[in-house]
Chains A and B, each alone.
Chain A
Amino acid sequence: MDELIKYAPDLGLGFLENVKLSLVAAVASLILGTVLVAMRVSPTPVLRAAGTIYVNVVRNTPLTLVLAFSALGLSDQLGLVFSDVPLTNSFWIVAMGLSVYTAAFVCEALRAGINTVNMGQAEAARAIGLTFMQSLTLIVLPQAFRAVVAPLGSVMIAMIKNTTVATAGGFLADSAAVMKITFDTTGASIPIFLGIVVAFMVLTMPIGFFTGWLSRRLAVAR
């Protein structure tokens, strides 16, 4: 327990980085995922194919590879640099990789949501003369989002847990990296491990409860 108290400030700062990564990746992946799902149901075969290929490739690649490639390949070799400060740069590299990866799962969840929307809804939208973009943004997507609040919550919870893989992208300030550095001096410490685990649970469990509550509240009665 003493170890946890002694290293708590470091670990807390590390955990804060996880929270920051989660916030950036949540916003970016929801936007990118929505664009991807619009591509995947669009009338243009080329966009559909591009969306499908993106989702299948990204979803089947390990996140560790995505992040390591972003850091060592895109940043170091190909010169994609967000900031001159190495730590800030690797933060944004990891945030980018995490968003790109999570977007594929957001897209899949939304597509499942579109499948639950009643066929009559889209038919009615067409019958009153709405265009594809209108029926998608006004009729189908709002209902699809309501149907997948809980799965999107799961995606976000998984994404928050995935922020620990930031180490693979060279971002050595998050709680996993701090825990590893601390273990190098203290050895495996059960209080420190449990402390971080509890911190993650405090972050993820309310999301689970909230999205569960929201999905019941928003459920479309059919």
Chain B
Amino acid sequence: MSTSVLFDAPGPRGRIRNHALTVISVVAVIAVLYGVYRGFDAKGQFEGKIWQPFLQWETWEFYIIPGLIGTLEAAAVSAVLALAFGAIFGLARLSDHAWVRIPAGAVVEVFRAIPLLLLIFFIFYLAPMLLGGGDYAFFAVVLGLTLYNGSVLAEVVRAGVYAVPKGQSEAAYAVGMRKNQVLRLVLLPQAVTAMMPAIVSQLVVLLKDTALGYIIAYVDLLNTGFKILPARFFGSLIPAAIVIGIIYVALNMALSYLATKLERRSRRSRKTAAAPIAAPGSAEVGIGAGQGTAGGGLGPDEPLE
């Protein structure tokens, strides 16, 4: 249902009312913005001095870019590992053998239910005990992100294979293919197309969650930009938050844009009989999806706009 169905094309009185509402809401929005502006101004947040550092190349060279590299590094490594983890455990859950299916299911369900920060803390403290001294911040962030997002991706893989209509595998068995061939040649290629949007939106979650590394002092964008940089340039805390906030939003929106594009393409595609599956939980919140792809009032074929 498109939103415009909710109200008629306005008549003369409706137009006047809409104009009045527009004026009122513009005033309200401006009032809020002005309130924020006054608050910032009263505390001297618009002085050129505290914004100055962001105009200098050194700030970017020594603080923001190294942090950004740290964030992207952690995200890239854990994305690759999480995809591998998700593929292995997702397929293991589809196995016909109970001794493979049940342990894989248990692993996936447990790691999906653990709050990610607790998992990262635990790994961060456990690793030095098992592996000896050293800096395990990167290791803890990557392993935590891999286990959590890998478990969510395993559910995506499973849902993707289930999204392929039954007739496909029946036809494949009918022409004499073996189980392994059916999965490898018929189901998976179609499932991957249907899974693409859900995978990309999970990667957005993963990228956002690298910021948890801030809490265990992993050198990521949030750490260099929000902890180290304001300590160096006194008073620049709020400008720093705004600048790195913009970087995060831009990165994630670029990835989300890719997800919508892929979704549109796989909907048009005739290479797959499966409809694109909804992103895990449909409404994903940072650290966690509760229900995976199972629960959802969001039919994948209904337009969101």
Q: Is A171 close to B, CB under 8 A?
A: no
Interface string of A130-165 (1 = CB under 8 A from B): 001001100010000011111111111111011011
Contact across chains for B295 and A151 when beta carbons are under 8 A apart: yes
User: Considering the chains assembled together, what is the distance between the CA atoms of A94 and B115 in angstroms?
Assistant: 17
Q: Which residue of A43, A117, A162 is within 8 Å of B285 (Cβ)?
A: A162
Contacting residues, chain B, for A43 (C-beta < 8 A)? 6-7, 10, 18, 21
Asked if A176 lies at the interface with its beta carbon under 8 angstroms from chain B, I say yes
Instruction: Indicate whether B238 reaches chain A with its CB closer than 8 angstroms.
Output: yes
**Chain A residues, Cβ within 8 Å of B256:** 60
Q: From the candidates A57, A116, A207, A211, name the one contacting B299 in the complex (CB within 8 A).
A: A116
Contact of B304 among A73, A78, A112 (CB under 8 A): A112
Tell me the complex Cα distance, A69–B244, Å: 11
Q: Indicate whether A187 reaches chain B with its CB closer than 8 angstroms.
A: yes
- A101 in contact with B237 (CB, 8 Å): no
Known A154-B290, A187-B129, A200-B113: A215·B118 in contact at CB below 8 Å: no
Residue A114 CB within 8 A of the other chain: yes
Stretch in contact with the other chain, from B94-102, B169-177, B245-253, B258-266: B245-253
CB distance from A62 to the nearest CB of B (A): 3
| A60 x B226 contact (CB < 8 A) | no
B298 to A164, Cβ gap below 8 A?
A: no
**B34 CB within 8 Å of chain A:** no
Q: How far is the CA of A161 from the CA of B304 in the complex (A)?
A: 27
Contact indicator B284/A132 (Cβ below 8 Å):
no
Task: Tell me if B282 counts as interface (CB < 8 A to partner A).
Answer: yes
Interface members, chain B 209-234 (any A CB < 8 Å): 209-212, 214-215, 222, 226
A contact residues around B237 at 8 Å (CB): 72-73, 77
Does B189 make an interface contact (CB < 8 A)?
A: no
Query: Chain A contacts of B238 at CB under 8 A?
Result: 73, 77-78
Q: Is A119 in contact with B29, judged by CB distance below 8 angstroms? A: no
Inter-chain CA distance A62–B71, complex, in Å, is 12
B288's partner among A46, A50, A162, A167 (CB-CB below 8 A) is: A162
A213–B1 Cα gap in the complex (Å)? Answer: 26
A44 — which chain B residues lie within 8 A by C-beta? 18, 21-22, 25
User: How far apart are the CA atoms of A135 and B7 in the complex, in Å?
Assistant: 9
Is B302 among interface residues, defined by CB-CB distance under 8 A?
A: yes
State which size class the interface on B falls in: 35 or more
Chain A residues whose C-beta falls within 8 Å of the C-beta of B29 in the assembled complex: 46, 50
- Pair count A-B, CB < 8 A: 243
Any chain A CB within 8 A of the CB of B31? no
A47 on the B face (CB < 8 A): yes
B54: CB under 8 A from chain A?
no
Stretch at the interface among B119-127, B159-167, B178-186: B119-127
10 cross-chain CB contacts under 8 A: A119-B5, A146-B297, A154-B289, A161-B288, A168-B215, A176-B118, A188-B125, A196-B118, A200-B114, A208-B290
The complex places the Cα of A207 from the Cα of B204 at a distance, in Å, of 25
Across the two chains, which residue of chain B brings its CB closest to A33? B283
Alpha-carbon gap, A140 to B5, bound state (A):
11
Does B39 sit within 8 A of A, measured CB to CB?
yes
Nearest CB in chain A to that of B252: its residue = A60
A99 at the interface (CB under 8 A from B): no
CB of A155 to closest CB in B, whole Å: 5
When distances are taken between beta carbons in the complex, the residues of chain B under 8 Å from A212 are 291, 295
